[in-house]
Amino acid sequence: MKLFENLYAYPWQGNDNNCNSYVFAGALDGGKHVVVDPGHLVTPYYRESGLDRLLEAMDKDGLAGAPVGLVILTHSHPDHSESAVVLRSEYQALVAMHEADEPAYSALGGKVDLFLDEGTLELGKSKAVVLKIFHSPGHTPGHVTIYWPDRQVLIAGDCIFYRSTGRADLPGGDPLILRQTIERLSKLEIEYLLSGHAYGHPGIISGREEVQDNFRYVRNLLY
Amino acid sequence: MEEERIKSAFEIAMERISSLPELTSEEIAAQKEKQYAPLGEAIAGKYLRCLIGDDEMIGEVDKLGAEPGQIVRRSLAASFCRAMRMEGDPDEAERALKGINLIAPSKSSLVRKAGEDVHSIVDKFEREKRVKSVEFGVSAVQSMGKLGISGSAPRPNLNENGEWQQELKRMRQSYESELETIRTRLLRELQIA
């Protein structure tokens, strides 16, 4: 699903648990794509194909002509990161994530080429896409969110969903830190909040007021 | 007719042993080395991990007889020498030097000189590693730039950089051979016989 000229959203539509994936199409030199959270290779319970479906969907959007050059992982959980291992080995894509989540990702067999600290991430030699990486812990110690100021898009990973938040009870999670992270993110100018899961909702909240309403709901009901 | 007496397994074993040639003194020495050397390694391990103190370590060696004690002292010295290594725990290396001083108190000046030489090599390795890692880091950032990835957020993970790992391996081998020369010289000069 094309959101903008060079940003595509692929909400997960299977029955099992898997994440939403997002693609900055042709953002790197040579027209290579940047994939955020490619998800499971195969889902754990119903054995639904994850990566194959993502690649087929990208193909339908006419993105098959160039390979994936970079995979950005918001965090290490396998429902977001598992396919990155294959994208790296089969397509020589670089994998980028925050250093604090690298041990958990390594335990799954993953290797990290680039650590992402808080700062700017510029894609393309002409820097056509300039993103801001925010260290957004709470769901995991090394969770990051990706903010595109030009379009006011926030790729939120598992920090915040439609009317809900990510879990903070898994190893490395901390509910108080997650709360601080969400409060911080709520202060951004966000026109499109792209979350990591479609829990009862596609996971794409559009409109500044709707996004702020979602933050208010989470703040009032959960905190 | 008289029944043949059936020999016991023990009797058969003793008959077989008596027909074997006697061990040579070298073979006996090798057996004793094999028996007591691991004890030296175990005592060294406990001392380096601070599970036993100075007096306890010497006590463990002294309660053995003369010959086993010498074997254990040699094994202790070898274990302590091995503990002085690159990228190892500096506190462990200091403790290893202290351990060698305790088992060979008359050779303290040799031990001090060896310690200084080890520190010098380890420092030289760490300095070169730092300089080279910065060079490789810069090169990795340039490679990222060629792909179209830049900014203040991305930082190359050198642990996954094949060329850096090769260079690190080469450096380790080079400095390790210098360290091994010092260890061998120290063990020879300690002359724990």
Smallest CA-to-CA distance from B80 within B52, B105, B102, B56 is with B102
Ranges of chain B with pLDDT below 50: none
Contacts (Cβ under 8 Å, ≥6 apart) of B85: B93, B176, B179
The architecture that CATH gives domain A2-222 is 4-Layer Sandwich (3.60)
* Contact B162/A at CB under 8 A: no
pLDDT in tens, B101-113: 999 988 889 999 9
Q: What is the pLDDT of residue B3?
A: 62
Contact B147 A112 (CB under 8 A): no
Contact A32 B147 (CB under 8 A): yes
Rounded to whole angstroms, the Cα distance separating A87 from A67 reads 9
Q: What is the pLDDT of residue B192?
A: 66
> In this complex, how many residue pairs, one in chain A and one in chain B, have their CB atoms less than 8 Å apart?
69
* Contact B156/A at CB under 8 A: yes
Q: A171, A100 in Cβ contact below 8 A?
A: no
Contact B157 A114 (CB under 8 A): yes
| Shortest distance, CA B165 to any CA of chain A (angstroms) | 13
Q: What is the pLDDT of residue A122?
A: 97
pLDDT in tens, A91-147: 999 999 999 999 999 999 999 999 999 999 999 988 899 999 999 999 999 999 999
Residues of B in contact with A117 (CB under 8 A): 152-155
CB-nearest to B155 from A117, A120, A127 is A117
CB-nearest to B151 from A27, A102, A121 is A121
The answer to whether position B17 is within a domain reads no
Domain regions of chain A by residue span: 2-222
Residues of B in contact with A119 (CB under 8 A): 151-153
- pTM comes to 0.79
pLDDT at A180 over 80: yes
Q: What average pLDDT is seen over chain A?
A: 95
Q: Structure tokens of B183?
A: 């260890």
Mean pLDDT of A139-159: 97
Q: Structure tokens of A107?
A: 């335990």
CB-nearest to A28 from B149, B152, B160 is B149
Q: What is the pLDDT of residue A43?
A: 95
Rounded to whole angstroms, the Cα distance separating B182 from B97 reads 13
pLDDT at A32 over 80: yes
* Contact B144/A at CB under 8 A: yes
Best A71, A91, A92, A113 member to test B by mutation, with max B CBs in 10 Å, is A113
CA distances from A3 to A6, A20, A125, A203, B33 (A): 8, 14, 23, 13, 75
Contact B156 A123 (CB under 8 A): no
Contact B155 A133 (CB under 8 A): no
Q: What is the pLDDT of residue B2?
A: 54
**Pick from A150-159, A204-213, B100-109: least confident:** B100-109
| Element of type H or E holding A96 | strand A94-97
pLDDT at A161 over 90: yes
CB-nearest to A118 from B147, B153, B157 is B153
Mean pLDDT of A152-164: 96
| DSSP code per residue over chain B | -PPPPPPPHHHHHHHHHHHSPPPPHHHHHHHHHHHHHHHHHHHHHHHHTTSS-HHHHHHHHHTS-HHHHHHHHHHHHHHHHHHS-TTS-HHHHHHHHHHHHHH-GGGHHHHHHHHHHHHHHHHHHHHHHHHHHHHHHHHHHHHHHHHTEESSSEEE-GGG-HHHHHHHHHHHHHHHHHHHHHHHHHHHHH---
Q: What is the pLDDT of residue B89?
A: 85
- The count of domains in chain B is 1
Range of the domain at B113: 22-190
Mean pLDDT of A137-166: 97
Percent of chain A at pLDDT > 90 equals 90
The answer to whether position B4 is within a domain reads no
Residue type, B84: M
Smallest CA-to-CA distance from A9 within A48, A51, A58 is with A58
pLDDT in tens, B52-79: 999 999 999 989 888 889 999 999 999 9
Q: A174, A123 in Cβ contact below 8 A?
A: no
Contact B148 A114 (CB under 8 A): no
Chain A residues with a Cβ under 8 Å from any Cβ in chain B? 27-30, 32, 69-70, 94, 96, 99, 102, 111-125, 127, 130-133
Task: State the complex-level ipTM.
Answer: 0.92
Q: Nearest residue of B to residue A126 by CA position? A: B148
DSSP state of A113: S
| Shortest distance, CA A119 to any CA of chain B (angstroms) | 4
Q: What is the pLDDT of residue B190?
A: 85
